Chain A
Amino acid sequence: MRGGNAAKVNTRTSATTANKVALGLLVPVLAAFGWIASADLRTGWSDDPRNPAEPGPDGWASIARTSVRVAGFEEVGTLENWDGTPWTPPDGYRLWRLEVEVRSRLTEPRFCTVEVHDAEGRTFTPPGPDAGLPETAASALDCGSLEEDPSLSTMVLMPVESRPATVRLLNDYELAPAYFSLPLR
């Protein structure tokens, strides 16, 4: 009878040890599984532009080794069609030309897509080639080492009642989650 109890105690002790070992393994295994399974979520979150780099008192906004400022944001009255005739924005719209200035210590060129946000929070981008502007409006501007013929100017067409407030320069691969956020005064 005593021998039987001793055997039961031994079995319980070994079972408890096995449980402890299994529990000790379970925690890191579950943590590793959670880390692997959440890769897409973590990557997506980190790529979301959420850290605006705003200009200092000198007007320049900086991310790492590159600084950008708005050199001009002016309304464009007319453009010239390919046949020399004038092109004016359609009734109810204003065409704006954005110019930026870039200082960079990068050695490689880098491009940023352009978004202009108005006071109501709406987002405008440069119109595509099918939209009928006589000049191409660049969808991306230089925001790294400048090329020989840098792209530093583009245009956006906005409704007349829209008040341009901020320009954002974004690069999902090289800058995100940071981006340049430049107020338009």
Chain B
Amino acid sequence: MRRLVVALLAVAVLGAGLLVDHAERAWPSTRPFVRTGTVGEEVRLWPGWVEVRGARAANSYVDPYGDEIPTDGVWVAVDVVLTGGREPVGVAQWTLEDAAGRRFQASERGGAYLMDSAQPESPLRGEIVFEVPRDALGRLVVRAGTRGADDRLGAVAAIDVTVEEVSQRPMTAEQPRWEER
């Protein structure tokens, strides 16, 4: 009888531990600070701002050296402007979320640019490139996060953008450049 009680208690302790572990991942008590917006709107991404000016898709992507990078899906280039606040803003991760909730990280294939910081009053404009399956196109959400994959307690700007047409012409991403003031 005593052994049975000890075994039951051990199972109960392990079960409680697993439940707590699952709960922390499935229903986290901390979330990112998300600001939402649409195309053409400056969205707060503390300590700066991010704006999506538009997005386009193409079947092929040409890297800065002129080489075509193949894909089984499509390439999406998102035109963004990143601006610092009182201090530089840092973006740890750009992701694209489709209507099904799938999230795709910005591609670094082919030397695509990743705009990871911008200075105060110095808007930096460029295109972030994503490689996504064809069925991901439609209503998308561009997410810029200051804390990377684990964005809890970080700032996130989530901006709606729609991309439906796919160009047959190879796409070249715009290199980041400072907007004239």
Minimum distance in angstroms from B38 CB to a CB of chain A: 25
Q: A157 contacts which of B87, B175, B178, B180 (Cβ < 8 Å)? A: B178
**Are A122 and B87 also in contact (CB < 8 A) when A92-B181, A158-B119, A159-B121 are?**
yes
Indicate whether B139 reaches chain A with its CB closer than 8 angstroms: no
A141-185 Cβ-contact flags toward B at 8 Å (1 or 0): 000000000000000111110100000000000000000000000
Give the secondary structure class of B's interface: loop
A117 to chain B, nearest CB (A): 9
B180 x A125 contact (CB < 8 A): no
A131 to B120: give the CA distance in the assembly, Å.
14
- The answer to whether A123 and B121 touch (CB under 8 A), given A91-B181, A130-B115, A157-B178, is no
Q: Is the CB of B119 within 8 A of A90?
A: no
B residues 113-145 with Cβ under 8 Å of A? Answer: 113-117, 119-122, 124, 126
Residues of B within 8 A of A125 (CB): 88, 117, 119
Of B87, B115, B175, B178, the residue contacting A93 (CB under 8 A) is B178
**5 tightest A-B contacts by CB?**
A92-B181, A123-B87, A91-B180, A122-B120, A90-B178
Complex CA gap A162/B178 in Å reads: 16
- Given A130-B114, A130-B115: A93 and B176 within 8 A (CB)? no
CB distance from A178 to the nearest CB of B (A): 20
Answer whether residue B86 sits at the interface, using C-beta atoms and an 8 A cutoff. yes
Could you tell me which A residues sit within 8 Å of B by CB distance? 90-93, 121-125, 127-128, 130-132, 156-160, 162
Whether B86 and A131, one on each chain, are in contact in the complex, defined by CB atoms closer than 8 angstroms, is no
Give bound CA distance, A127 to B117, whole Å. 8
In the bound assembly, the distance between CA atoms of A127 and B88 in angstroms comes to 10
Which residues on B sit within 8 Å (CB–CB) of A127? Answer: 117, 119
**In the assembled complex, B177 has its CB within 8 A of some CB on chain A:** yes
Please name 22 pairs of A and B residues whose Cβ atoms are closer than 8 Å in the assembled complex, sorted by A: A90-B177, A91-B181, A92-B180, A93-B122, A122-B120, A123-B86, A123-B87, A123-B88, A124-B88, A125-B88, A125-B117, A127-B117, A128-B116, A128-B117, A131-B178, A132-B175, A132-B178, A157-B119, A157-B178, A159-B120, A159-B121, A160-B181
B146-175 toward A: CB 8 Å interface, digit per residue (1/0)? 000000000000000000000000000001
Distance from A113 Cβ to chain B, minimum over Cβ atoms (Å)? 11
Nearest-Cβ distance from residue B88 to partner chain A, whole angstroms = 5
Quote the shortest CB–CB distance from B27 to chain A (angstroms): 24
Report yes or no: B120 in contact with A124, Cβ–Cβ below 8 A: yes
Contact call B176/A130, Cβ cutoff below 8 A = yes
Tell me if B181 and A123 are in contact (CB < 8 A). Answer: no
Tell me the complex Cα distance, A113–B73, Å.
Answer: 41
Instruction: Please state if A130 and B120 are interface contacts (CB–CB under 8 Å).
Output: no
**How distant is A16 from chain B, measured CB to nearest CB, in Å?**
39
- A95 to B69, alpha carbons, bound, how many Å? 35
Query: Looking at B114, B121, B180, which has the most chain A CB atoms within 10 Å of its CB?
Result: B121
Partner of A131, one of B87, B121, B124, B181: B124
Q: Which residues of A contact B121 (CB under 8 A)?
A: 122, 159, 162
> Which residues of chain A are near B117, meaning CB under 8 Å?
125, 127-128, 131
Please give, as numbers and ranges, the residues of chain B lying within 8 Å of A130 by CB-CB distance. 113-116, 126, 176
Q: Which residues of A contact B176 (CB under 8 A)?
A: 130-132
Which chain A positions have C-beta within 8 A of B122?
93, 157-159
